[in-house]
Every structure is written in structure tokens, then in C-alpha cells.
Structure 1
Amino acid sequence: MKFKLGDFVRFVDEKREGYVTKIIDTQTLGVTDEDGFEIPVAISNLTSVHGHGVVAEEQDAPKPVHVNVPSINKIENGIYVAVATDNKAGNVVHFHLLNQSSNVLLFNLTTEKKEKYASVFHGVIESYQSGLVYSASLADLDLWPEFTFQIIIAGKTDVKPVDPLVIRKKFRAKDFSSEQKELPQSKKGWLIHLDDLVPITIDAQKLKESFFKSPAEKKTVDAPAKEIDLHIEKLRDDHHFLEADEILQIQLNYFQNALDAAIVHHFEKMIFIHGSGNGTLRDKIHKLISKNPNIKTYMDARKEKFGYGATEVVFK
């Protein structure tokens, strides 16, 4: 009988249960019990506990465990890894990919340790669903492999496709030093926002080519207005038919295009009107601004007119 990481198993020769948290070799597994101890156990001495795990022989390609997440509205739209602690084995944590969007995600999780790779999960995560993708012992954090999350975002509406996400993450103690949060399924643990981990990549060839362009060539982009209104009704006539995360993406794309155009045309400053609302658009814009090397500073724009609903950007 074959087992995979995260399977809930029972010892054959004694009254003890736990989760598979390490594959030691072809004959031996590491099982973490309810006391948090990881015990090397021969595979022949283990049996699967019905209802807690799926034996690998019964599914060649792992499938996500879909769950309804009614409390998810408290979480900002995006893609997350929810690292939940286990009620029975305190040191065991379960990784759930959390799809808080209206898109379908094609997902693959690969681990790497000492140049040895393992594909531990691949499957489809439907919109506003989650999938169990990995389990491990928190006590062995220093021994965890590096994780590579590969995500293809399949949109359901007439929206420009986005590039696949490839995120590499080595978990550290600081990732679990904050207070645990309430997660879906009445679990507790930590939320890691994968969208915020996407590195900013620079195309070296395009950057090199830009040095040799004349000023006229560089300014083929139309100059934007110095005051940009990002309210969706100003950008799209069909906004009534769009989901919340689609609206946010359209607003961010418009913001980025206007910002890039302003940099090309050597603007000194410009204002983005994002509204107050729940603050999501404002926070996203501020994160993008803070990472842009062409921006000197930013601040709330003319509070007497906009309140906290607009941001002024000052360029270098």
C-alpha cells in the first residue's frame, strides 16, 4: 500500500494515529502523532484511516479537496496559501490553495531539495474554492524543501489573459511568527498572499534597446491626463456585468498604463482618483507605487476635494 504526504494513518500493531509528514525511503514513512512527535514507521505497519485521507493507489493524479468557504468574504480577493494547524496533531500543518477569485486556477506544486524535485500536487481549483495540496510537520520547518507554485489563471469573461504565475517560496520561521488567523472550515493558521510574492521581472534586452531609442521613438505613447479617474463606470460601459475581482484588475491595468505613459513623458506629478470604498484599490495602487523606481514619493491628494479617495504621485 502506498501513501502520500498528508494521509491520515493508523498503526497496525498499536493504538496510535497520525499524519504522514515525511517519506524517509521506499519502505519507511515519518508519521507525526497527536503529541507532535514524528515517528519513523514501516509502511507495512500502517493502514489508511477511512474518511481522513486518500490512498495514492486509488488516485494516480491527486485531486483537490473542494470545500465551501462562506466566511471567505472577509478575505481580500486574490490567491492564497492557507497554512492551517491540525486539531489532532499540533505540529502538523496543512497547506490549502485558496482561490478567492471568480477565475478557475490550473495549479501545480513542486518541491525542491538539494536539486531533487518532486511534483506533490496538480489539479484544478474552482473559483471561491480551496484544495488541500500539502502537509508537513512545523517542527521540521528548517528541513522543508523550497516550494514552486505554478498557476494558470483561466478567466470566464471577455478579459485580457494574464501571464501564468510562477512563485518560488522558501518558508522561514518569520512566516509563522504572527498570530494565527481564522481560516475557512473553522481552522486556524496563517494566510500567505501569493499575488504579493510575484517578483518584478525586468527584460534585460528591452531595457538595453530602450537606451538606443531616440526621444521621439520613446514618446510613441500618448500622454495621459494629469488627473486619472479609476472609478469603473469611467472605464467600462459594461461594468454592471463584471465580478469584483475583474473590476479590480481592469482598474489596476488602467492605472499601470497611465503611470507608464506618465513616466515616458517625464511628468512631474499626477493624481489617481481611486475612491475610498473598502480601500482595496488604494492599497494595491500604493504597493505598486512603492515598488516603482521612477517614483520619488506619493501622498493623499487634496484632501479638501477628494478626502482619502485620491493619491498624488511625484516622479523623480
Structure 2
Amino acid sequence: MQINIGDKVRFLSETGGGVVTRILDAKTVMILNDEDEFEIPSLKSDLVVIESSQTGNTAQTKTSNTTTSSSPSPSKQSLFVEKEEVYAAFVPKESSVASEGPLELYLINDTNQILLYNYYNEKGQRTEGVTAGNLDPKSKILLAEYELKDLNELSSCHFQILYYQQGISSIKNPLTRTIKIQAVKFYKSSSYKDTAYFHQDAILYKLTGGSDLEQKLDELSDKDFKQAIREKKTSGKVKVAEKSNNSNDQLIEVDLHINALIDSVTGLSNADILEYQMNKFHDTLRQYQYEKGKKIVFIHGIGNGTLKQRVLSELKRKYRKFYQQDASFKEYGWGATMVTIR
């Protein structure tokens, strides 16, 4: 039986009850006894929930200092999948259409251990603590809710996780993972896939496993990193993604988000980043300038609008003979411009 912090419970084998204050392990919780106001441990199997913390105004409020006012109340749900993995998932809010409505971010504990977690947002150069808590084995919890427009300002999601299991068990290393956010992905219906954890399609990120490549890149000195960028600039033609459409032409898709162009922004100023993005833009147009009818979609996102405005300004100033328009809203939202070579 799923029992959460803040649930009001009654004992099955004796009279009385109380409020759940702590989760000790997968089988045991700590109860604040109604009669003498002492905390006592109790097996979950010896309890019945009479008022859930998700519907009643109980001790859940005592833990509100671990969350921000903008984050939803934690909502834990049991799972029946066994993969011994930890995931994060962006899921369309109930009754919402994928790629159009608000999204819910869940942490999924598909292991046999309790997770002690911290979750942070990164917006630009600012990191914000959003929520923290514990998650029972084989369960999931709602961490935050986002409007699609909010994801244009979100650059990364950070997770810090500790494993705990009472009794004889192997000790797992703490888990620290970062998900880089590419806002355009959430506007594409093709990004949402069927999973074993939700009734609707979701965007699933595996937090366990993987490599420490990103951390190693971040540890490079500014000199080494800027040298790597210079080598990328002189390495040859711009790399772009081509995808077929209904016409005879190929649609060229160029993602100008900086995390799609280089591996890390360590040591770069905002001006350096913008210059690199615009160099990619110009290189692409020069590469295809003689292929009349070629269509190129530049994904610039919304953000604070700086990159988008620079792209539009350069099109009007240097490439007036090319035709430009907003790219498909269904595919890219407001975050892309399509250029047709003339």
C-alpha cells in the first residue's frame, strides 16, 4: 500500500492512529501518535489511510519549506514495472494535447530503494531550487508544471539523488544528472512516445547509466574550450539535418540553439554565444545560396528574442532576395523561421 508523508492513518492491530511524518524504508514509516504526540515506527501493513495528504490539509504542509510556491504539491503514484532505473518524464497535463498544452515533470523511481532527491531549474546563468523529498520504491512523483512558453527560458533541469535501503544492501553511488532543454522538442508531436509509466505519450529521460562526458567537458580550461570552438569553425562545411517532405526538394533544418552547436558554453560570454550562432546562420545560407527553391528552417527559439531578432534583421539587411516566413507552428511553435532560396 502506498503511504505518503502527511497521510492520516489508523492502526489495524490496535486502537488509535496519527499522521505519517517520515518514510523509514519500503516497509516502515514513522507515525506522530494522536494520543501522546510521540513519534513511533510502524509497519505499513499495519496501517490504513483514512485521509490522504493529497486531498486533506494535514501534515503535508509541514514539508512545504522544501518546495517553491510555483511548484505543485507532490503527488506520488505506485508503479508495476521493474527495470531498476530512474527516469524523468515530461507528460502533457491531463486533457491536454501533446505539443500544445502545459506539461508535468515527473521523477520515476523504478528501483527497489528509496530515493532522496533534490530538483533544480537553470534559467540562463541562474539556478533555482524547486523541490526536494523522498520517493518510495516503484513509484513516481510530480515535481513541477510548465507552460510551453516557460520552457523557452529553461536551459537545464538538474537532479541530485541518493539511494537508501534499510538492512543488508549494497551502497549505490549518489546520482547527479543534468537534462539540457531544447524547447523546440516540446512543440513536436513526434517527440512524445508511448511508455510503460503513463497512459498518454511522454518525453522520457533516463537518469541512471550514461557517461560523465558532460562533466569532463565542463572541466576543460577556457583556453582549451575556445580552441575547440575555433577548430569547429574551420573544420569545413556546416553540418545540417535534412528531412524529406512532400515536395521534390529537401527541407534543411538548422538548430541554432547553442547546446545543439557545441558541447559546452564554459568560458563563453553571451556575445560569444550569439556570434557563434550567427556564424552558423551565415555559413548555412552561403552553402545553399545557389540552390534555388531550397527551403531552410532556422530553429532559434523564443527566449528573450535576441537571436530571433538578429536572424530577421540579417535576412532583411543581407539576404533581401530570399523569401522568409514563420516555420510551421505545429512543428516549431513560434521558435523557427523558414527561408526559401531565390
Please classify the TM superposition score into its range, dividing by the shorter chain length. Answer: 0.3 to 0.5
TM-score (norm 2): 0.38
State the TM-score, normalized to the length of structure 1: 0.41
